[in-house]
Structure 1
C-alpha cells in the first residue's frame, strides 16, 4: 500500500469538469462520449450528459481522450536532472504534464552512497510539495542502482556499483520516508535472494535490470519475488537459443511484467511488437527513461561530473553507451500507434493501466472508468497534449502554457 501523503495532499478540486464529444479511450474500446468529473473522481461516462451551471466545459471534438499517462522510469527532462542537489522539480513536473504524464516515479541512478542518501532525503521532502502545487501524482521513488552488474552497467557509474544489502536498504527506506516503490537490481549478484525476499515483504516492486542473469538465475529470482524487468532488451544478457537468459525467462513467465523505451533507438519497433505479442498489453508498460536533455537542443550535458553527448536526440556517454532517452510519454504513445499499429485501448493500457497495476493502484488509476481518479489527457491529431487533468484539476492547458518544447 502507498503511504499517506504520496498522492495529492491538497484538497481535491471541488469544481466539476465536463469533457464533451471526445473520442474516449476506455478498456472496452473507443466511444464518442462525454466524461463528467466531480471532486477528483470520474462520475459518468456517457453519450449525453447535461451541463450544470457549475461545470467547466472542455469541448474535445475530434480529439483523443486517454487516461493520464503513468511513467515508472524517468530521470529528468527540460534541462533538469532529479538527482541534482538544486533540481527545479516543480518545473520538471510541469514539463511532464505538458506531455501527458499525470503520475510518475522519480528515478535515481547509481551514485556514491552519501549522494544517494542525500537525494532520497531531498525527494522525500519534495514529494508532498510537488503534489500540492503541481497537481501531479508523485507515486514515489524508483531506485535504479547501485545493485547492478558491471558487465551490463550501461551508462551507470561503475565505480559506485555494489552488491545488494538488506541493511543499506533498510536505512534508505527510512531516509526516503518509505517512498521507495520500485528497485532495479541484478538478481545474480551476491545477497540478491535475501534482498529480493525482504523487498517483496515490504511491498516494493523488485525489477531485474542491468543484469547478466542466466535463464536459471532469472527463473530462481522470479520465485524469490522479482516481478518486473527494467527497460526490456536493454542493459541485460541477450537471448541465445542455448542460453535464453533473462529475456527468455521473462517472456515465459506469467509472473513478470516488463517495460520498454519505444523511441526506435533503444529497440527496433518490431522487437517491441514481438514483446507485446508475447506479453500482451497487460504485461508491457511504456516508459521514457528520459534524462536532463529531453526537450533540449543537441549538445553536451554534464550529469554528476560525467559528460553526455546528445546528437539527433540520442543520448550517449563518453564510452558510446546509450544513456537514457529524450522520449516523452505522448511520443511513446504515438510510436506504438503508428509503428506497432496496436489498437488504441491496448496502447492506453500500456501507458496507464499496466503501470498502475504494477504498482497495485489500478483500483484508483490507469483507466477512464466511473469511480476512478479523474486523471485524463486530451491529445490532438498530432499527439500533442491539449489538456492534462490530474485528480479533477486542470494541471496543464496547451493554450496557456509558457513552457517551450
Structure 2
C-alpha cells in the first residue's frame, strides 16, 4: 500500500480554498483533504511530499488534443501515445480525449482500434480517458483544413463501426448539425452514450437550436470554423453564446481567438460552462518546422500552425499556458479560472465522480503550481508523472 501526504501552501479544490492544506493519498485515490491543523496522520505511515511553496489544484483535463512531441494520435502506436501523454503531464494535464482528424475510413478505423486497445492497456503520463472524433461528418464550407475528399454525410452505419472498433471508447464526436440526417444521427449517438459537439458548421441559429434540442451538448473550438455571427442571423455561434446548456470549447492561445472575444465568451457563458482546450498537434513542444496532423502537412512558424494555403491547423498550446492566458486576459483569479481546465471538462464528458476535483474518494490527479503558474509537479492517480527540474 502506497500512502503519502502532500503539504501545500494552498489547495484549490476548486469548490473551496484551503490555506496551508494537506492531501492524504492512498494508492491511486485521495483519502482526506483539509487544513494542516485538522488533518491528522502518522508520519511513520505516510511519506511526506513537501510543497509548502506551491498551490495544489486538480489535474487538468483536455477534451480536444491531436498530438505533441512530434507524434500524432492517428498513429495509434504505444510509442506515439507515450510521447504525447508525457508532454501533457509536463504541463499539468492528467486526462485527455485523444482527438482524431477527418481521414479515410480505413485510417480512422485503424486509429480508433489501436487507441481503444491502448486505453485498456494504459500508458504513462496523462491518461487517455476516451476518444473524440473530429469529423468526418462536418460541413465542407467550414471544414477548415479537414480533407474534403473524406468528409461524409452523417452515417449511423459508419459511426457504429467506429464505435465497435474502438471497443466503445468514443466519448465525443463533432459534427455539423445542418447536414441532412444529423438530427437522427445525434439521437443515435446519444442512445449509445456518446456525447455530440457541434462544430465545423455553417448552421443557422434555428438549425443549431434544433440540434441542441436533439441532444448536442458541446461546441467545438468556439468561434473557429463556425458561421459568423450576424445581428439578424446569429447562426451557430449565437446559439452557443445564448444557450446555457452548451459547453463551449475555447483555444486560448491568442491566435485562434482574440482576447476580446474570449471576454465576450466569458460574459455570455460564465466560468462554469467554458472548456479550456488546446487543439494541440504534433508540433507542440517542438521547434518550428514541418509536422503532421493526420494526413496533412503543417508548417509551424513562431509556434503558429498553418497549412501551405495559410489556414490555421491546430495549435502548439498547452493547458497550463491556456490557464495563464485566460487569467491574464479576463482578470479571473486562479480559483475561478481553474474550473475551465478541471471540473468543467470532467462534468462535460461524464467523469466528474472520479476526476476534476480534490476531494476524498477521487483519483489522485493533482498539479502543484508555482506562483507564476508554472507546473512544479504532476501526479496521476497517486504517481508522480512529472517533476520540474527548476528550483
The equivalent residue for 2:75 is 84
CA deviation map 1:340-395 (0-9, x unaligned):
21122221210010000011121221111222221100111332222111122222
The equivalent residue for 1:37 is 25
The more displaced of 320-329 and 133-142 is: 133-142
* Alignment check: 8 A CA contact 2:59 2:92 kept: yes
Residue 57 in 1 paired to residue 52 in 2?
no
Residue 152 in 1 paired to residue 105 in 2?
no
Q: 2:10 aligns with which of 7, 23, 42?
A: 23
Question: How big is the shift at 1:176?
Answer: 0.5
CA deviation map 1:260-299 (0-9, x unaligned):
0100111111211211221112110100000010111112
* Alpha-carbon distance between aligned partners in 1 of 2:172 and 2:270, rounded to the nearest angstrom: 22
Residue 46 in 1 paired to residue 34 in 2?
yes
Question: How big is the shift at 1:52?
Answer: 2.4
Gaps of 5+ in 1: 1-13, 401-405
The equivalent residue for 1:94 is 86
The equivalent residue for 1:186 is 176
* Alpha-carbon distance between aligned partners in 2 of 1:318 and 1:306, rounded to the nearest angstrom: 10
Task: For 1:1-400, list aligned pairs within 5 A.
Answer: 14-32=1-19, 33-48=21-36, 49=39, 50-84=41-75, 86=77, 88-129=80-121, 131=122, 133-134=123-124, 136-399=126-389
Q: Describe the shift of the 1:25–1:156 C-alpha distance in structure 2 as closer, same or farther (beyond 3 A).
A: same
* Alignment check: 8 A CA contact 1:71 1:288 kept: yes
TM-score by length of 2: 0.95
* SS, match of residue 10 in structure 2: strand
* Alpha-carbon distance between aligned partners in 2 of 1:305 and 1:179, rounded to the nearest angstrom: 22
Question: How big is the shift at 1:67?
Answer: 0.3
* Alpha-carbon distance between aligned partners in 1 of 2:264 and 2:143, rounded to the nearest angstrom: 25
The more displaced of 48-57 and 107-116 is: 48-57
* Alpha-carbon distance between aligned partners in 2 of 1:68 and 1:302, rounded to the nearest angstrom: 28
* Alpha-carbon distance between aligned partners in 2 of 1:366 and 1:304, rounded to the nearest angstrom: 29
Question: How big is the shift at 1:85?
Answer: 5.6
* Alignment check: 8 A CA contact 2:86 2:125 kept: no
Gaps of 5+ in 2: none
CA deviation map 1:227-281 (0-9, x unaligned):
1100000011011001100111122212211110100111111211211221112
Question: How big is the shift at 1:304?
Answer: 4.7
Question: How big is the shift at 1:117?
Answer: 0.7
The equivalent residue for 1:403 is none
Question: How big is the shift at 1:305?
Answer: 4.9
* SS, match of residue 244 in structure 2: coil
Count of matched residue pairs: 385
* Alpha-carbon distance between aligned partners in 2 of 1:249 and 1:21, rounded to the nearest angstrom: 42
The equivalent residue for 1:10 is none
Q: Describe the shift of the 1:306–1:270 C-alpha distance in structure 2 as closer, same or farther (beyond 3 A).
A: same
* Alpha-carbon distance between aligned partners in 1 of 2:29 and 2:118, rounded to the nearest angstrom: 25
CA deviation map 1:38-76 (0-9, x unaligned):
132222222224442232322222212110000000000
Question: How big is the shift at 1:306?
Answer: 3.0
* Alpha-carbon distance between aligned partners in 1 of 2:85 and 2:343, rounded to the nearest angstrom: 21
* Alignment check: 8 A CA contact 2:197 2:219 kept: yes
* Alignment check: 8 A CA contact 1:15 1:54 kept: no
The more displaced of 140-149 and 264-273 is: 264-273
* Alignment check: 8 A CA contact 2:103 2:136 kept: yes
Q: Describe the shift of the 1:304–1:355 C-alpha distance in structure 2 as closer, same or farther (beyond 3 A).
A: closer
* SS, match of residue 74 in structure 2: coil
* Alpha-carbon distance between aligned partners in 2 of 1:379 and 1:65, rounded to the nearest angstrom: 6
* Alpha-carbon distance between aligned partners in 2 of 1:325 and 1:375, rounded to the nearest angstrom: 25
CA RMSD of aligned residues (A): 1.6
Question: How big is the shift at 1:125?
Answer: 1.7
* Alignment check: 8 A CA contact 1:196 1:225 kept: yes
* Alpha-carbon distance between aligned partners in 2 of 1:106 and 1:306, rounded to the nearest angstrom: 17
Question: How big is the shift at 1:134?
Answer: 0.9
Question: How big is the shift at 1:319?
Answer: 1.6
